[in-house]
Amino acid sequence: MGADATTLHIAVHALASSLQAQVAAVFFVSAACTVALALLLALLRLRPPWWCACPVCEAYVTASWAREFDNLCDWYAHLLRRAPGRTVHVHVLGNVLTANPATVDHMLRCRFDNYPKGAPFSAILADFLGRGIFNVDGDGWLFQRKLAAAELASPAIRAFAANVVASELRCRLIPLLRSASSYGSERLLDLQDVFRRFAFDCICKISFGLDPGCLELSLPISAFADAFDTASMLSARRATVPMHVVWKLKRLLNIGEERELRDAIRLVDALAAEVIRQRRKLGSAASGDDLLSRFMGSINDDKYLRDIVVSFMLAGRDTVASGLTAFFLLLSDHPEVAAAIRDEVFRVAGGRDPTAASFDFDKLKDMHYVHAALYESMRLFPPVQFDSKFAAGEDTLPDGTFVAKGTRVTYHAYAMGRMESLWGPDCAVFRPERWLSGGRFVPESPYRYPVFQGGVRVCIGKDLAIMEMKAVIVAVVLSFDVEAVDRSSRRPKFAPGLTATFAGGVPVRVRRRAHCAPS
């Protein structure tokens, strides 16, 4: 009897185990079917790419445009040049692209309230930028803008920023280039990397009151820089996916690029937290005049502070580095512009022999040709190639294009700089003189040249960025000849990212110049 009970018990246990496995399998299959159904419904709602067979959408989805163009932005410029009204609709992205100044004016000024960043854009960049100024609308954006604008407008912070840039030039950048030039012509330097490091030092000192060379960081700057670039690149790629449910699912499952993005953001978070910790550690020992200290006086939320820190790093490092890299790449192809810059510097200096170490930065405002050359460079290579808003309600653009609620509308600064209708038949030529009248710099409408945006959202750091870039240009052009190696401004290759980045860097040879007045 005992044996029978034991046998029965074993049989029941085996049956239960079998049923348990079957029940688990049923639950798993049911869950999988539910997820598949949800995905199918999401795809139906999002109108998958194969529902649009227009030539533009087909070329985008199949990437056939890459057979003729090196960069997506060049293909967009090609489409916009040919389009009536300089506007194109990429249906699979739900995106209206424009290179029409009237439409840019409409978006940024006339109907500003109808074109916020929007929830879809914020979702794409939320993991990286959080609630920082570049990723929010409404009260959050207004609060950060007012606080930052008030600080950047003060004479004290402008003087402080000029001193920071002068010190970085004198003590770090110029000695680095001098060292590179002393090793002979065979040593190559990645100028893009150099300018990123320089701009990072400057923005950390100006915005956070901290010097990356002196911080007790738990991570080396190189690791942070790699993580920051990766986070920027992968966040930007989210916007190129026709069906956002794809990247959202990858993020949920923590696989592929989304896993790589999460790892990169973890490193960015670590450095931002260290910046905040070190700023608090300094406390009253520091002046407290930097931007971060001002925000700390109004915000107790460290996550919010982290988002502000990352946004300032993005603005202060990537845009300035991008602008400078493109400028010197163009200068390598146009030595006559470098000669004209030197002529102007000597003229403004009163015929004396100025050096990078002793030049008076107050004289930068009198250098109209340098200013024109910088603007001309950013016309061809804007640090931010395009900017998108999402329509809060239905609208009709000035060219007659209907915009449904929720549509992404993008003005393409890179394409606008290559429009013959805007800049004439020599629009592809680097010609600083187009910005001069009687030897003085004359700006264009910000809606024709939206490099710094326009209207209510015009860049509050514009003057600071221009000062920094002009100072670098003058200091480097005076002291060195910079020659790009195996790279040309005539056929650039860009890497994905939130700002314009040259794929593979920009290797250069640096040669010291003898200081002598031009003939």
Q: In terms of Cα–Cα distance, which of 349, 341, 381, 353 is closest to 470?
A: 341
* Range from 26-40, 307-321, 378-392 carrying the lowest mean pLDDT: 26-40
- What pLDDT, on the 0 to 100 scale, is given for residue 213? 57
Confidence category of residue 44, pLDDT binned at 50, 70, 90: very low
Q: Is the pLDDT reported for residue 399 higher than 60?
A: yes
Count other C-beta atoms under 10 Å from residue 515's C-beta.
13
Q: What is the pTM of this model?
A: 0.84
For residues 192-218, average pLDDT: 76
Q: Which domains does the chain have, with CATH numbers?
A: 118-377+434-445+457-510 (1.10.630.10)
Q: Is the pLDDT reported for residue 369 higher than 90?
A: yes
Backbone angles phi, psi at 180, to 5 degrees: -65, -35
pLDDT digits (tens, 9 = 90+) for 401-448: 999 999 999 999 999 999 999 999 999 999 999 999 999 999 999 999
Q: In terms of Cα–Cα distance, which of 194, 204, 264 is closest to 236?
A: 264
Per-residue 3-state assignment (H helix, E strand, C coil) for 220-282: CHHHHHHHHHHHHHHHHHHCCCCCHHHHHHHHHHCCHHHHHHHHHHHHHHHHHHHHHHHHHHH
Reading the block at residue 508, the tokens are: 């250069």
Higher pLDDT, 490 or 101: 101
Confidence category of residue 35, pLDDT binned at 50, 70, 90: low
Q: Is the pLDDT reported for residue 181 higher than 80?
A: yes
| Inter-residue long-range contacts of 147-150, CB under 8 Å, 24+ positions, other chains counted | 147/294, 147/295, 147/298, 148/291, 148/460, 148/461, 149/460
Reading the block at residue 167, the tokens are: 């010190």
Reading the block at residue 148, the tokens are: 């930052």
Per-residue 3-state assignment (H helix, E strand, C coil) for 78-111: HHHHHCHHHEEEEHHHCEEEECCHHHHHHHHHHC
Cα gap 238→47, rounded to integer Å:
17
- What pLDDT, on the 0 to 100 scale, is given for residue 417? 97
Residues near 331 by Cβ (< 8 Å), separated by ≥ 6? 337, 338, 477, 482
Confidence category of residue 89, pLDDT binned at 50, 70, 90: very high
Cα gap 512→519, rounded to integer Å:
19
pLDDT digits (tens, 9 = 90+) for 137-177: 888 888 888 888 887 888 888 888 899 999 999 988 998 89
Mean pLDDT, rounded, of the chain = 84
Reading the block at residue 314, the tokens are: 């993005």
Reading the block at residue 267, the tokens are: 């490193």
Higher pLDDT, 317 or 259: 259
Rounded to 10 deg, the angle between the 462-479 and 320-333 helix axes is 40
Confidence category of residue 4, pLDDT binned at 50, 70, 90: low
Higher pLDDT, 196 or 328: 328
Helices (H) and strands (E) counted in the chain, each on its own, are 20, 13
- Residue 169's region, left for phi above 0, alpha for psi from -120 to 50, else beta, is alpha
Q: Does 427 belong to an annotated binding site? A: no
For residues 341-364, average pLDDT: 75
Classified as helix, coil or strand, 456 is helix
Spell out the alpha helix ranges (H) of 381-479.
Answer: 413-416, 420-423, 462-479
Per-residue 3-state assignment (H helix, E strand, C coil) for 100-155: CHHHHHHHHHHCHHHCCCCHHHHHHHHHHHCCCHHHCCHHHHHHHHHHHHHHHCCH
Classified as helix, coil or strand, 53 is coil
Reading the block at residue 115, the tokens are: 């074109």
